[in-house]
Amino acid sequence: MQPPQAEQIPTPRTLHGETVVDPFAWLRNRDDPRVVAYLTAENEFTAEATAHLDDLRRRIFDEIKTRTQETDLSAPARRGSWWYLTRTVEGLQYPIFARRADRPDGPEQVILDVNEVAADHEFCRIGVLAISTGQTFAAYSVDFDGSEHYTMRFRDLTTGRDLPVEIPNTTYSAAWSADDRFFFYVTTDAAHRPHRLWRHELGTDPAEDVVVYTEDDERFFLSVATSQDRRYLLVELGSHTTSEVRYLPTDRPLGDLVPILPREPGVRYVAEHREGRFLVITDRDAPDGKVVEIPVDDPDAAREIVPHRPGRRLVGLLPLARHTVVFGRDSGLTAVWTLGEEDLEPLTFDEPLYTVGPERNLEYDTSVLRLRFESLVTPARIVDVDLQTGERTVVKETPVLGGYDPSDYVQERRWARSVDGTRVPISLVMRKDRPAPGPTVLYGYGAYESSLDPWFSIPRLSLLDRGVAFAIAHVRGGGEMGRRWYEDGKMEHKQHTFDDFAACATHLCETGVTSPDRLAGRGGSAGGLLIGAVANQHPEGFAALVAQVPFVDVINTMLDESLPLTVIEWEEWGNPRDPEQYRWMRAYAPYENVAERPYPAILATAGLHDPRVQYWEPAKWVAKLRTVWSRPHDHLLLKTEMGAGHAGPSGRYEAWREEAFILAWILDRISGGGLPS
């Protein structure tokens, strides 16, 4: 088999005295018929190169499907006299949003059947589903191609019919006024940055909508939400290093937005409201966060109520009528506290590794906190915690069909030593009866202070039950170990992210879990950049690498201010127009550093309509890799979703097929000879 060869058209770029020739810059032009032809040819080559995996892929898909309870129901969540839920039905791609009157098993009303919305569309994703304050209307937004350009619609819940109004170019956040008369939504600028807040009066022409606020600083994104008690509209304006929250009473929707705290460079904060006071988590003089209480009517009377404690990262607040809940991280794990008399009081959990966080707490006047808990071996549980008595009730556990027994598996925390001596946590799961060393998948991300906390996965069982171990490398750049962990893996410190991942791979090999010829690395988006950098810097450490929608053309993307995210991303990666920042990025940028070396097998994916990582980044990367490739041609593959975006296919069955494809490819590359059954 011969792979497609992209035409090379030299395009020079001179920056800081260095001229770099890009032979594949032309792939950026999606209107060029040669681009679609090239992507199609790569897809055809990938299909041919993986045809021998068709049976395994079908078996894995069937395993996912068989283990999943296809007709299922979420735990109903109360809001006033209604209980809200989501249903799935066997054979249908998309969920059904519904509510029940008076009790969890009461008469049901369908709010939105996404299968009906998606009819005649190959792709469909819901961005916003916002129930009005009086629960008489639902606003919902739809994207039909993966571009994340959402069209807002309104449904009258008394009739079940949509109003004759649509608002284009909306994004992920929205809020209602107290009287259901006004609706607030956000639109994007030419670079797809959420920047403008609008007020729409129901029953009027959207052409008459009023601009409430415009964020002109291109580093900042704008989002809107309602406080937990629904008394205030909260507008968050945030960059990677600075934020500001402005408020507006929901019963005075025609008023002006007022800052809770002034915007201060380098200071981030989040805010909520409870009983006439704003509760604020701020990192001002507190890198991991402290809680400040600010009376709405007397902001000068602000006082600290929870002190900063290094290593205890505070990130979110949930005020209830008689309690305040704080979410964050401690000792590398997610954590939940209640606000006590002098400090925070922790809720404890009985597994060594887990993820816990809020789950659909729709009611303010309650003493019951609803949490979602899961681990690498425990399917997601919805747990109600009575904050008055401490009693815990498991409301629902995600069913795993086919006789799943968590006692067949073991999860543990490991620690690798990075090149600078930093200890890097690893979360590891495998079958207890797995022979060692054996095939292993190492997953990583490492950016934006986002944490890869342990999660349960039904598709992952198809790996574990074939003797594959699964590990998560909690590398710097993520938020697993607090704010400093993040800051030590960004900008000039970005190399730490790649060193940490390589150190985790080395640890797994040196401790007998696996060996380089049976180890696969996997990551997506910014995690795909991690995979691309590791491919150049540590090719000998892996048998295979999966880079999903990988951010690999870093410098060229960060030079193009017209692209979505570029300007705000300068605070994460750097601006290559600055000579020093260019030097950092040039040292690791995956596309720039492709060279003749013994690369492992590589599978890259892309989405033609992806607004976050443009399709041409993985396409250019693979094309350039082909010019230096010394392995069999079918060990380097590019698969582009021609009708989807950053998150891949939208329907659940198509998403399962995509995952089955990736898992089958991984198994083929690390099975050690002969396809596993």
Cα–Cα distance for residue pair 396/59, rounded to 1 Å: 29
Quick one: pLDDT at residue 677?
A: 63
pLDDT, average across residues 145-158: 96
Q: In which band, very low, low, confident or very high, does the pLDDT at 212 lie, cut at 50, 70 and 90?
A: very high
* pLDDT for 255 beyond 90: yes
Q: Please give the radius of gyration of the chain, using alpha carbons only, rounded to the nearest integer.
A: 25
Catalytic (active-site) positions: 525, 610, 646
pLDDT, average across residues 656-660: 97
Quick one: pLDDT at residue 647?
A: 87
Q: In this predicted model, what pLDDT tens digit does every residue of 308-355 receive, in sequence order?
A: 999 999 999 999 999 999 999 999 999 999 998 889 999 999 999 999
* pLDDT for 72 beyond 80: yes
Q: Please write down the long-range contacts of 235-244, taking CB distance under 8 Å and 24 or more positions apart.
A: 235/197, 236/270, 237/263, 238/268, 239/568, 239/571, 240/448, 240/568, 240/569, 240/571, 240/572, 241/265, 241/266, 241/268, 241/571, 242/266, 242/267, 242/268, 243/267, 243/268, 243/269, 243/270, 244/269
Quick one: pLDDT at residue 342?
A: 82
Choice between 440 and 671, residue whose per-residue pLDDT is larger: 440
Quick one: pLDDT at residue 675?
A: 61
Quick one: pLDDT at residue 341?
A: 84
Burial 14-43 (b: 16+ CB within 10 A, else e): eeeeeeeebbbbbbbeeeeeebeebbeebb
* pLDDT for 189 beyond 70: yes
Q: In this predicted model, what pLDDT tens digit does every residue of 647-657 receive, in sequence order?
A: 899 999 999 99
pLDDT, average across residues 160-174: 97
Query: pTM for this structure?
Result: 0.96
Under CATH, which architecture does the 408-670 domain have?
Answer: 3-Layer(aba) Sandwich (3.40)
Q: In this predicted model, what pLDDT tens digit does every residue of 630-639 receive, in sequence order?
A: 999 999 999 9
* pLDDT for 426 beyond 70: yes
Cα–Cα distance for residue pair 618/638, rounded to 1 Å: 8
Q: What is the dihedral of CA 460, 464, 466, 468, to 10 degrees?
A: 100
% of the chain residues with pLDDT over 90: 97
pLDDT, average across residues 520-549: 98
Quick one: pLDDT at residue 564?
A: 83
Quick one: pLDDT at residue 673?
A: 62
* pLDDT for 674 beyond 70: no
